[in-house]
Amino acid sequence: MYSKFFSLLIACVLSLSAWGQQAKYVFYFIGDGMGVNQVNGTQTYLAALEGRIGTTPLCFTQFPYAALVTTYSATNGVTDSAAAGTALATGHKTKNGALGVLKDQQTSVSSIAVAAQQAGAAVGITTSVSVDHATPASFYAHQGARGSYYAIGQDLIRANFDLYAGSDFLSPYQDKNQNSPSLYQEAEQAGYTLVRQYQDLEKLSTNKKALLLQPETYSEKDRASIPYAIDRKDPTALTLTQITQSATKFLNQKGGQKGFFLMVEGGKIDWACHANDAATVFHEVTDMDKASQVAFDFYKQRPDETLIVVTADHETGGIVLGRGPYELHTQVLQYQKMSTEAYGKHFQQLHAQLGNKLTWEVAEKDLQENWGFGKEVQLTDAQQARLKQVFEQTVTGAAKDAETLYSKVNKLADTAREIMAECALIGWQSHGHSNGYVPVFAIGAGAEKFQGQIDNTQIPQIISQATGWKMK
C-alpha cells in the first residue's frame, strides 16, 4: 500500500511540475488582416483543390487551444495595425496610428519582447513587409505616428534586439537628399551585421546582432515587402519560411539556456485583403502556415518549454464565403496565376510592348492563360462583355486605375479580380478593416489560457504569465 501511495504521490508531483513548466521558447505569429473567415476560406480552398467539400486543416488550426479575440482600439471601434500591434505587443490599448505609446501619444509602454530581452532571452522581430511597418514596430518603437519611418528605424536600433528581418527599411534616409547617415550606417555602428541571404544569417557567430533583409535587386523594385507567395517565381526571393527557419536557428544558438522570443508577421495577408484578392489571400495564409510548421517542428523537440501563439491584429475586407446561392466554388481560384497587382503590371508591360497591336483577341487569350477565363473558368456573356468593355477603356486611357491602401492597378486587372470573386461566390464588404473577431491558436506551455473570448491586450499578458518575463 505504501509503495502504491508513494508512486501516486510521485506521479502527482511530476504532473504538477509539468503543468507549471514555464515556456522558454516563444513563437508569436501575427497574420495581419487574418480574420476567422480568412482562415476558414483558406482551409475550404485547400479542400476544394482535393476535389471535396469541407476543410483541410492548416498546421496552426490543429493546435489544441483556441479563442476568439476582440480588436477595437482605445479610440476607434475599428482598429488600425499600429493600435492593434501595440495591444498585441504591450497589452495596452492606444489611439489608431500610434506605436508603443498610450492614447496620449506620449507615454511609452514596453512590449513582451522587451520583457524577454530583460530576462536574458534572445529576441527576433521578423515580417514579410518592411521592418519598420506598424506591426513589427509595435514591439520596439515609441512614436505617436506610424508614418514616422526614419524615427521608427532609429527606435529599432535603440531597442537593441538580437535580430530584425523583413524586406528592408521603408525610409532609410532622414531626407530626400540623403545627407544624413542612413539607417544601415547607424545599425552597423550599433553592432548590427547586415545580411541579404538567409543562409548568411545562420553562419553568423552568436556574439553578433543581425539585420536580415531581402536581396537588393528586390528592394530596388519594392522595398516595402517581399513578393506575394502567388507571385514568387524566382528561387532567390526571400520567403517567410526561410526567415523563420534561419531566425529560429540564430536565436536558439544566441539565447542558449535563457531561450528566445520570435515574432513572425505575415504582413501581406492584409495587403491582399485590402485589394479584395481572395486567391492571393489564401496563398498568403498558407504561406504563413508553412512558417508556423517550422515552429511546430521545434516544439515537438521541446514540448514542455515551447509556446506557439498564432493570431491576427484585425480582420480586413469583411470577406464573405458565399454570396447568395448555397454554393461555394473556391476551386476556380487555382487558375489565377498571379496577384491582381502583379497582373496589372503584367498588362501594362504587354500594352507597352504591343502598342496598337494589343487587340481584344490578344488580351482575351492572356486573360485565359492567367485567370482561366473562358477555359477552366466559365464566364457569362455579361461578364465577357464587361471584360471587353473595360479592356477598350483601359488601352485608350479612359478607365481610371483602381486604388487600395497598398496597391494601384489598372481597371482591367481589377475587373478580372471582381469577376473571379463572382465565379468563386466570394464577397467582400470593404477595402478596409473591420471589427470582426480574429482567432488565436496556441500550443505548448501556458497555451491552455487561450480559451473562450479574450481581448487582444490579454495575449501578451498570457505570454508573460507563461514565461515569467515581467512586463513593465
In this prediction, the residues of the chain whose per-residue pLDDT falls under 70 are 1-20
- Least Cα distance to 150 among 125, 135, 170, 130 occurs for 170
- Under the phi-then-psi rule, with left for phi > 0, alpha for psi from -120 to 50, and beta for the rest, what region is 410? beta
User: For the stretch 377-402, what's the b/e string if a residue is b when 16 or more beta carbons lie within 10 angstroms of its beta carbon?
Assistant: bebeeebbeebeebbebbbeeebeeb
What is the spatial distance between Cα 456 and Cα 313, in angstroms, rounded to a whole number?
8
What is the spatial distance between Cα 88 and Cα 108, in angstroms, rounded to a whole number?
15
Residue 17 domain-assigned (yes or no)? no
In this structure, the answer to whether residues 440 and 405 fall within a common structural domain is no
State the Cα angle at 329 between 324 and 331, rounded to 5°.
165
The answer to whether 410 touches 351, Cβ cutoff 8 Å, is no
What is the spatial distance between Cα 1 and Cα 76, in angstroms, rounded to a whole number?
64
Stretch (H or E) spanning 264: strand 260-266
CATH number at residue 163: 3.40.720.10
Full domain range(s) for residue 204:
23-320+432-467
In this structure, the answer to whether residues 436 and 403 fall within a common structural domain is no
What pLDDT is stored for residue 7 in this prediction? 40
In this structure, the answer to whether residues 294 and 385 fall within a common structural domain is no
Residue 8 domain-assigned (yes or no)? no
Would you give the DSSP letter of residue 21? P
In this structure, the answer to whether residues 417 and 439 fall within a common structural domain is no
What pLDDT is stored for residue 20 in this prediction? 63
* Lookup: cell for 339: 496577384
What is the spatial distance between Cα 84 and Cα 72, in angstroms, rounded to a whole number?
8
In this structure, the answer to whether residues 98 and 209 fall within a common structural domain is yes
What is the spatial distance between Cα 370 and Cα 373, in angstroms, rounded to a whole number?
8
Identity (one letter) of the amino acid at 270?
D
pLDDT digits (tens, 9 = 90+) for 5-43: 334 333 343 333 344 689 999 999 999 999 999 999 999
Residue 293 domain-assigned (yes or no)? yes
pLDDT digits (tens, 9 = 90+) for 165-198: 999 999 999 877 777 889 999 999 999 999 999 9
Residue 7 domain-assigned (yes or no)? no
In this structure, the answer to whether residues 82 and 217 fall within a common structural domain is yes
In this structure, the answer to whether residues 414 and 439 fall within a common structural domain is no
Q: How many distinct structural domains can be found in the chain?
A: 2
List CB contacts of 261: < 8 A, sequence separation 6 or more.
Answer: 26, 28, 112, 113, 116, 117, 121, 122, 123, 124, 469
Residue 262 domain-assigned (yes or no)? yes
Q: What are phi and psi of 260, to 5 degrees?
A: -155, 165
What pLDDT is stored for residue 407 in this prediction? 81
In this structure, the answer to whether residues 173 and 154 fall within a common structural domain is yes
What pLDDT is stored for residue 2 in this prediction? 36
What pLDDT is stored for residue 172 in this prediction? 95
What pLDDT is stored for residue 175 in this prediction? 78
3-class secondary structure, 164: strand
What is the spatial distance between Cα 293 and Cα 171, in angstroms, rounded to a whole number?
32
Stretch (H or E) spanning 212: strand 209-213
Neighbours of 123 (CB within 10 A): 29
Burial class of residue 131 (count of CB atoms within 10 Å of its CB; 0-12, 13-18, 19+): buried
In this structure, the answer to whether residues 287 and 352 fall within a common structural domain is no
In this structure, the answer to whether residues 234 and 100 fall within a common structural domain is yes
Residue 18 domain-assigned (yes or no)? no
Q: What is each CA distance from 326 to 173, 322, 377, in whole angstroms? A: 53, 7, 19
Residue 115 domain-assigned (yes or no)? yes
In this structure, the answer to whether residues 212 and 351 fall within a common structural domain is no
In this structure, the answer to whether residues 303 and 386 fall within a common structural domain is no
Q: What is the mean pLDDT of the chain?
A: 94
The stretches of 50-196 forming alpha helices (DSSP H) are 81-90, 112-118, 134-137, 149-159, 183-189
The answer to whether 446 touches 401, Cβ cutoff 8 Å, is no
Residue 10 domain-assigned (yes or no)? no
* Lookup: cell for 174: 532622414
